[in-house]
Amino acid sequence: MNYIKQMFELQQQLNDATNGEIWTEGATKEGRQISWLRCIYMEAAEAIDSFNWKHWKDLDAKPDLGNARVELVDIWHFIMSEAIHFGDAGFAEMYNDMKPERDTDPEKLVEILEKMIAVAASANVDQSQNSLYQLFALFFQAIAHMEMDVPELYRRYLVKNQLNTFRQDNGYKDGSYVKIWGDVEDNVVAFKIMDDNPELTPEDLYKKLEEAYKQVS
C-alpha cells in the first residue's frame, strides 16, 4: 500500500465534506477564511505542552508521549491540507518507505516542534513563502523521534480521519454531537477499536464507530 497517497486521498475527502470543495481556494463553504499554517503552529504548541518544560511546576512529571503522538497526527492533517491547497503534495511521497531508528528523544522533539512553529508562523505572515518542504522534513524528523514509521502514522491517522468524519456526520458543527462515550472521550474509544482490530479498512472502522456511538447517544 502507498500509505502517503492513501492519507492524502482521505484528507481530501474529509476536507471536501467538511468545508465544501471550495476549500482549496482558501475558504470554507460558509465563507470562513482557512489558515492551515496557523493550525500547524497552534497544534505544534499543544504538542510541546505534552512535555515537562515548565521550570516552576511538576518538576518530576513524565512526558505524555501518547498525547504528543495524537498532536503529531493532528499536525499531519494540516500539513497535508496545506499541501493540497498549495498544489504541491508530491514531495511527501519520498517518505513513504521511511524506516526511522527507534528512539524517543523528548528534548530533540521539542526542538523540532519549535522549528516547525517558526517556519509555519513565518510563512503565514508572508504568504509568498512555500514552507512545505521544510514542514514535511521537520514533521518526519518529529515522528522518527517518537518511534513512528509511516505505517504507524497511517494507522493513527486513519483513526483520527474516520473519527473526524464521524463527528461531522453526527452534529459536531451544531453542537449536538456527544464527545464523551461512557466515561472517556471518543478518541480513546476509536484508538481502542483500532488497537483491537489493526487491519480495519476506513469503512470498517467507521461502522464500528457507529456501533459504539449507538450505545452512547
The residues pairing with 33 across neighbouring beta strands, listed in sequence order, are 27
CB atoms within 10 A of CB 91: 14
Asked if the model's pLDDT at residue 130 lies above 70, the reply is yes
pLDDT tens profile 42-81: 999 999 999 988 889 888 888 898 889 989 999 999 999 9
Q: What is the DSSP string of 36-100?
A: HHHHHHHHHHHHHTTS---TTS-TTPPP-HHHHHHHHHHHHHHHHHHHHHHT--GGGGGGTT---
pLDDT tens profile 181-214: 988 999 889 989 998 988 889 899 999 999 999 9
Q: What is the DSSP string of the chain?
A: --HHHHHHHHHHHHHHHHH-GGGGGTB-TT--B--HHHHHHHHHHHHHTTS---TTS-TTPPP-HHHHHHHHHHHHHHHHHHHHHHT--GGGGGGTT------B-HHHHHHHHHHHHHHHHHHHHSTT---HHHHHHHHHHHHHTBT--HHHHHHHHHHHHHHHHHHHHTTTTTT----EETTEEHHHHHHHHHHH-TT--HHHHHHHHHHHHHTT-
Q: Which domain holds residue 154?
A: 3-214
Query: What average pLDDT does the segment 120-145 reach?
Result: 91
CA separation for the pair 116, 135 (Å, rounded): 6
CB 120 within 8 A of CB 41: yes
Mean pLDDT for the chain overall: 90
Distance of CA 166 to the CA centre of its chain: 16
Q: Which cell is 110 given? A: 521539542
Asked if the model's pLDDT at residue 101 lies above 70, the reply is no
CA separation for the pair 102, 88 (Å, rounded): 29
CATH of the domain at 109: 1.10.4010.10
CB atoms within 10 A of CB 73: 21
CB 209 within 8 A of CB 162: yes
Query: What average pLDDT does the segment 84-111 reach?
Result: 77
Instruction: Kindly report the pTM of this predicted structure.
Output: 0.88
| Gap between the terminal Cα atoms of the chain | 36
Count how many domains the chain has: 1
CA separation for the pair 26, 30 (Å, rounded): 12
